[in-house]
Structure 1
Amino acid sequence: MVGPALLVAVALLVLLIGLAYGGGANERPIGDPGALVRFGLPIAKLFVNLGAAVTLGAIVLALFALSPKKDEYNRALDIAASGAAVYTVAAGATGFFTFLNVTGTAITFDDQFGAKLGLFFSDVELGQAWLATTLIAATLTVLCFAVRGQILMVFVGVLALVSFVPMAQQGHAAGTAGHDAAVTSLGLHVVFAAIWLGGLVTIVLIRKTLESGRLVAVISRYSSLALVAFIVVAVSGYASAELRIGSLDRLLTPYGVLVLGKVAVLIAIGLFGAAQRNWLIKKMQSSQKVISGYFWWIVVAELGFMGVASGLAAALARTATPVPEELAVTPTAAELLTGEPLPPELTFARYFTSWDIDLIWLLVTAFGIFFYLAGVVRLKRRGDRWPIHRTIFWVAGLLVLFYLTNGGIAAYQDYLFSVHMLGHMGLTMVVPVLLVPGAPVTLAMRAVEKREDGSRGPREWILLAVHSKFGTVLANPLVAALLFAGSLWIFYYSPLLRWAMTDHIGHEWMIVHFVLTGYLFVQSLIGVDPVPYRLSYPLRLLLLLATMAAHAFFGLAIMSNVGLFLADWFGAMGRTWGPPPMVDQQIGGGIAWSLGELPTIALAITVAIQWSRSDTREQKRHDRNADRTDDAELREYNEQLARMAARD
Structure 2
Amino acid sequence: MPRFLRVIAPAALLAATLAALLLGLGIGGASAERAVLDPGAVVRFGMPIGRTLVNLTMAGLIGSLVMTVWALASEKTESRVALDFAAASSAALTVASAATLILTYVDVSGQPFSGDAAFGAGLAMFVTEIELGQLWLIQLLLAAVTTVLCFAVRGRRLTLLVLVAGLATALPLAQQGHAAGASGHAQAVNSLLVHLIGAGVWLGGLLTLVVLVRVVDRARLAVLVSRYSSLALFAFVGVAASGVVSAWLRIGSLDALLGTGYGRLVMLKTAALLVLGAFGALQRRRLIPRIAGEDRGGRVFAWFVVAELAVMGVASGIAGALGRTETPVALEPVRDQGGRITPAEWLTGDPLPPELTTTSYFTEWKFDLAWSLVCLFGAALYVAAVIRLARRGDRWPVGRTIAWLLGLALLFYTTNGPFNAYEQYLFSVHMLGHMMLTMLIPLVLVLGAPVTLLLRAVEKRRDGSWGGREWVLWAVQTPYSKVITHPAVAAVVFAGSLWVFYFTPVFRWAMVEHLGHQWMIVHFLISGYLFSLSMIGIDPVPYRFPYPLRLVTLFATMASHAFFGVTIMTGDNLMLADWFGAMGRTWGPPPLEDQMTGGGIAWGIGELPTLALALIVAVQWSRSDAKEQKRKDRAADRSGEAELQAYNEMLASQAERDRRLDTRRR
Give the Å deviation of 1:212: 4.3
1:635 and 2:645 are equivalent in the alignment: yes
Query: What is the distance in 1 between the residues matched to 2:41 and 2:602?
Result: 60
The match for 1:280 is: 287
Q: Which moved more, 1:610-619 or 1:114-123?
A: 114-123
Give the whole-Å Cα distance in 2 for the aligned partners of 1:344 and 1:251.
29
Identity of aligned residues (%): 57
Q: Say if 1:172 and 1:244, in contact at 8 Å, map to a contact too.
A: no
After TM superposition, give the deviation of residue 434 of structure 1 in Å.
Answer: 0.8
Q: Which of the numbers 381, 397, 400 marks the counterpart of 2:410?
A: 400
Per the alignment, residue 490 of structure 2 pairs with 480
Structure 1 counterpart of 2:325, from 305, 315, 319: 319
Give the Cα separation in 2 of the matches to 1:639 and 1:355: 74
1:235-314 equivalence runs, <5 A: 235-252=241-258, 253-287=260-294, 289-314=295-320
Report the RMSD for the aligned CA atoms in angstroms.
1.1
CA distance in structure 2 between the partners assigned to 1:310 and 1:474 by the alignment: 42
Q: Secondary structure at the match of 2:447?
A: helix
Q: What secondary structure, in the 3-state scheme, does the structure 2 residue paired with 1:27 have? A: coil
User: 1:458: how far off?
Assistant: 0.8
Matched, 1:447 2:457: yes
Once residues 117 and 401 of structure 2 are traced to their aligned partners in structure 1, the CA distance between those partners, rounded to angstroms, is 67
What amino acid maps onto 1:569 in structure 2? W
Partner Cα distance (1:285, 1:11) in 2: 31
Alignment of 1:507-526 (within 5 A): 507-526=517-536
Q: Runs of at least 4 residues of structure 1 off by over 6 A?
A: none
- Counterpart for residue 195 of structure 2: 189
- Match for residue 466 of structure 1 among 476, 490, 493: 476
Q: Which residue of 2 aligns with 1:547?
A: 557
Superposed, 1:102-181 pairs within 5 Å as: 102-172=108-178, 174-181=180-187
Counterpart contact for 1:269–1:306, Cα < 8 Å: yes
The count of residues paired between Structure 1 and Structure 2 equals: 647
CA distance in 1, matches of 2:479, 2:274: 44
What does 1:598-637 correspond to in 2, within 5 Å? 598-637=608-647
Q: CA deviation at 1:172?
A: 4.6
8 Å contact from structure 2 (residues 229, 283) kept in 1: no
Match of 1:561? Answer: 571
* Match 2:92 to one of 68, 86, 90: 86
Partner of 1:335: 345
Structure 1: how far apart are the matches of 2:572 and 2:503?
A: 14
Deviations 1:508-565 (A, max 9, x none): 1111110111010011111000110011111110111111111111111111111111
- Give the aligned partner of residue 68 of structure 1: 74
> How far 1:279 moved relative to its partner?
1.3
Query: 3-state SS of the aligned residue for 2:588?
Result: coil
Q: Does 1:529 align with 2:539?
A: yes
Q: Is the Cα–Cα contact under 8 Å of residues 172 and 321 in structure 1 kept in the other structure? A: no
Secondary structure of the structure 2 residue equivalent to 1:169: helix
Shift in Å at residue 2 of structure 1? Answer: 1.3
Question: How far, CA to CA, are the matches of 2:283 and 2:449 in structure 1?
Answer: 36
Matched, 1:574 2:584: yes
Contact kept? 1:417, 1:570, Cα under 8 Å? yes
Task: State the alpha-carbon separation in 1 of the partners of residues 547 and 36 from structure 2.
Answer: 75
Deviation at 1:450?
Answer: 1.3
Q: Per the alignment, do residues 21 and 174 of structure 1 end up closer, same or farther by CA in structure 2, a change over 3 Å counting? A: farther
Q: Would the aligned equivalents of 1:481 and 1:521 in 2 still touch at CA under 8 Å?
A: yes
Conservation of the 8 A alpha-carbon contact between 1:358 and 1:405: yes
Taking the aligned partners of 1:143 and 1:325, their CA distance within structure 2 comes to 35
Flag the 1:259–1:249 CA change in 2: closer, same or farther, 3 A: same
Q: Is the 8 A contact 1:173 1:244 kept in 2?
A: no
* Pairs within 5 Å for 1:407-446: 407-446=417-456
1:108 CA drift (Å): 2.4
- Residue by residue over 1:290-309, the C-alpha shift from the partner in whole angstroms, topping out at 9 and shown as x without a partner, is 22211111011100000000
Moved more, 18-27 or 457-466: 18-27
The alignment status of 1:589 with 2:599, answered yes or no, reads yes
Give 3-state SS (helix, strand or coil) of 2:577's partner. coil
* Contact 1:174/1:325, CA 8 A, preserved across alignment: no
* Contact in 1 for aligned 2:78/2:216 (Cα 8 Å): yes
Deviation of 1:283 (Å): 2.9
Distance (Å, rounded) in 2 between the aligned partners of 1:372 and 1:277? 21
Pair 1:386-2:392 in alignment: no
Indicate conservation of the 8 Å contact 1:334/1:574, yes or no: yes
Q: Secondary structure at the match of 2:580?
A: coil
* 2:589 match: secondary structure: coil
- Aligned with 2:39: secondary structure? coil
The answer on whether the counterparts of 2:218 and 2:291 sit within 8 Å (CA) in structure 1 is no
